[in-house]
Chain A
Amino acid sequence: MSTDRVRPVTMPKWGIEMQEGTVTAWNVELGRHVDKGDALLDVETEKIVNSVESPASGTLRRMLAPAGDTFPVGALIAVLSDPDVAETDIDAFVTNFKPFDASFAEGSTAAAAATAPSPPTAPAAPVAEAAADGAAEGEARVSPIARRLADKLGIDLSQVTGTGRNGRISKEDVEAYAATLQQAGTPAAAVVVIGMAEPVKREKLTSMRSTIARRLSESKRDLPHYRLVADLDMDALATQRAAMVAAGERVSINDLLLHAVAVALRQHPRLNAQFTGDELLQFEQVDLAVAVATPGGLVTPIVRNAAGLSVQQIATAVRELAERARAGKLAREEITGGTFTVSNLGMFGVRQFDAIINPPQVAILAIGAMEERPVARHGALAVGRVVTVTLSSDHRVVDGADAAAFLATLKATVAGVTAG
């Protein structure tokens, strides 16, 4: 019953499923007067043929749907108007008409992509209705696991803010509170050694660090580590390095050591291996993982086929990998699948240290600083350049004898190295 002077007739929606209709026949002529409810035209859909009733009275000014053609629901198929409306106004109406999109296509309405399986936690609805309050009269509401942790850490739960279900204190909340206690200098029962006087930065572990932390814990806990320590006579290697540097090569002592390790591993495949828990997989190729410190944490990019590379090639590879490691641009393949790891803290002046094995590898070599030390040679005291290395091995698959033999080979390789 619109009082608009120009009135549209659109393809009707008959029933929930109809998306389009085909015009079969018109029952009125252009220019004639039509009454509301008159059968204007016949339309066929997938299911039925029916007449479109005129939604209003007026003069039929346009017929825009030839018989035989198909139109979507909502499309303009005819125009009615008061008799005195100008043609140009009718034209304008047709041009400006926006058909309504009645389809079920996604995006046509708020097609909510709500896939979240979790139930809504405390939505906009007013909280604190009878339901949740009743329980812990005055006592802090705590998840049982959080309570256990709090007991263990000696934490007063009344001081903790809850961010869990309906304001309940969760394990995360207790951990967060424990962290603030350390910063405030209050003696917290467990966790972390040094209490600082002034507040330090609060760092939540990134996913990368969390993963590193977890894997190292597992390794230390589950693998039976044992250590063999040896001192390497570095005179020959140092001389070689000096010669190479003089010849314009960019190599470090570490690069030379890496080369020596690779060569030695070729002769001791039991250490160039991965252990799955059931099987020991020994490899021909030496893929040497080299520990690199980055701002985000320790990473171990891999120098593939290290035993087949020259020292210079190793040096180049290590330099390039370290750069990309520090920029956070290593690909996944570059940090997985190593057969042995070498870690060097010599540049910090560390004389000796024990490293933690990276499973599924079975051993790791920790290299200390090269120092001048008093050495005994053929019964006489001399000054030699020495590096202390520590080999940590997984006693499930690497026997002491194997590990020792490897170290012996390494020692010999390093001592008797010749240029090349």
Chain B
Amino acid sequence: MSQKSFRDALNEALHLEMERDGTIIVLGEDVSGGAGGTSGQREASGGIFGVTKGLLPKFGADRVIDTPISESAIIGAAGGAALAGLRPVAELMFADFVGVSMDQIFNQMAKFRYMFGGKTRCPAVVRLAMGAGMNMGAQHSQSIYALLTAVPGLKVVVPSNAYDAKGLLIQAIRDDDPVMFFEHKALYPRKGEVPDGAYTIPFGEANLLREGEHVTVVAIGRMVVFAEKVVDTLAKEGITCDLIDPRTTSPLDEETILESVENTGRLVVVDESNPRCSVAADICAIVAEKGFHSLKAAPRSVTAPHSPVPFARELERAYVPGPTRIEAAIREVMKG
């Protein structure tokens, strides 16, 4: 057990699992890097964010595959390899590239098990780097897990910290259904206590990070970091909150959220995505439908605005839901 970054925790997960199971392969753009380069050096990247570092030298080019820029072929190959008995972990360098590979995700791998009468399995994992806050512009900064949460047949994972990241990635690799694994770029350097060995965290089980009486705060991905700050500050004032990190949006741990709202009667959901048809909207609707009689105030969501991610620093700062807006939302539901 020691302090490790989110990125290194993911890397550890990959190393441990690939050692354990020879059918696991990794594929994506520059997952090793340097193929065909004039320096003759491989491992030029270890993945653009360093998550797949060290895998090629250890496991070889048959299992760590640098691909051309062909997202449909990459994801399609993952689906086909999974049907054929391998356990692929494919990478979409930026979650935004889901666009050019969408058919292979939502028409193909999501639906094989169902369409083929339950007689196949597609144990593929697709890792996607998402999120804003690093000035990468509209097409490299989105948080679009809601699109995939909506697709039956997929599981969607959004870890918020290094410990969860490792356990959830190992779980994803061992899971026999197709899993979309979202990694917020701004979380990669964040450190936390992470055990050295392998461990799993089950899907559909939220983490209760703080306990309180007054408000249920649900936060997703990087928003957990901001929400924690706000909840701790408000606790000093006597406003205490249950802080729930769902960890997976599909399956979603509705039970924990509803049980918490039964106690507190108030809900705030924090989600970096755009508001329409977001997971925040989904959670508010679920609570309104199933927990209506527990509510003392209307549920509130704190999301990005209905706009693409802007480039200028000041605008991007205003785009991402921050502690100020989260605190305002909590205070507002306290008013009833």
Contacts and interface: CB of A to CB of B under 8 A. Distances in A.
Interface of A: 117-119, 125, 129-132, 134-136, 141, 143-148, 164-166, 168, 170-171
A131 B177 CA distance: 9
B251 A119 contact: yes
Nearest to A218: B296
Contact of A143 (B152, B174, B256): B256
A308 B170 CA distance: 76
Nearest to B290: A118
A208 B11 CA distance: 55
Interface stretch (B52-60, B67-75, B203-211, B273-281): B203-211
A130 B174 contact: yes
Interface in B174-217: 174-177, 199-208, 211
Given A135-B205, A144-B208, A130 B259 contact: no
Contacts of B104: none
A131 B203 contact: yes
A171 B206 contact: no
A164 B255 CA distance: 8
B201 A135 contact: yes
Interface of B: 118, 152, 167, 170-171, 174-177, 199-208, 211, 242, 244, 250-256, 259-260, 262-263, 286, 289
Nearest to A147: B208
B208 A141 contact: no
A145 B254 contact: no
Nearest to B204: A165
B202 A132 contact: yes
A118 B152 CA distance: 11
Contact of A145 (B174, B252, B263): B263
Contacts of A125: 118
Given A134-B170, A171-B259, 12 more contacts: A125-B118, A131-B177, A132-B202, A143-B205, A143-B206, A144-B206, A144-B207, A144-B256, A145-B242, A145-B256, A145-B259, A165-B204
A143 B253 contact: yes
Contacts of B263: 145
A184 B43 CA distance: 66
A148 B175 contact: no
A148 B208 contact: yes
9 contacts: A119-B252, A125-B118, A134-B199, A135-B167, A135-B200, A135-B205, A143-B255, A145-B242, A164-B255
Contacts, number: 72
A170 B176 contact: no
Contacts of A170: 255, 259
A134 B176 contact: no
A106 B42 CA distance: 61
Most interface-central of A129, A132, A144, A148 (chain B CB within 10 A): A144
B222 to A, nearest CB: 21
Nearest to A125: B118
A165 B254 CA distance: 9
Contacts of B242: 145
A130 B170 CA distance: 11
B253 A165 contact: yes
B295 to A, nearest CB: 12
Contacts of A144: 206-208, 244, 256
A273 to B, nearest CB: 21
A171 B257 CA distance: 11
Nearest to B336: A277
A118 B255 contact: no
Contact of B250 (A117, A119, A147): A119
Contacts of B170: 134
B284 to A, nearest CB: 13
Enumerate the 5 nearest inter-chain pairs by beta-carbon distance, A residue then B residue, closest first. Answer: A144-B208, A134-B200, A145-B259, A135-B202, A171-B259
Nearest to A145: B259
A168 B152 CA distance: 23
A122 to B, nearest CB: 10
Contact of A131 (B118, B152, B175, B254): B175
Nearest to A124: B118
A129 B207 contact: no
Contacts of B204: 165-166
A125 B114 CA distance: 12
Contacts of A168: 205, 255
Contacts of B202: 131-132, 134-136, 141, 166
Given A119-B250, A129-B176, A171-B262, A145 B171 contact: no
A145 B260 contact: yes
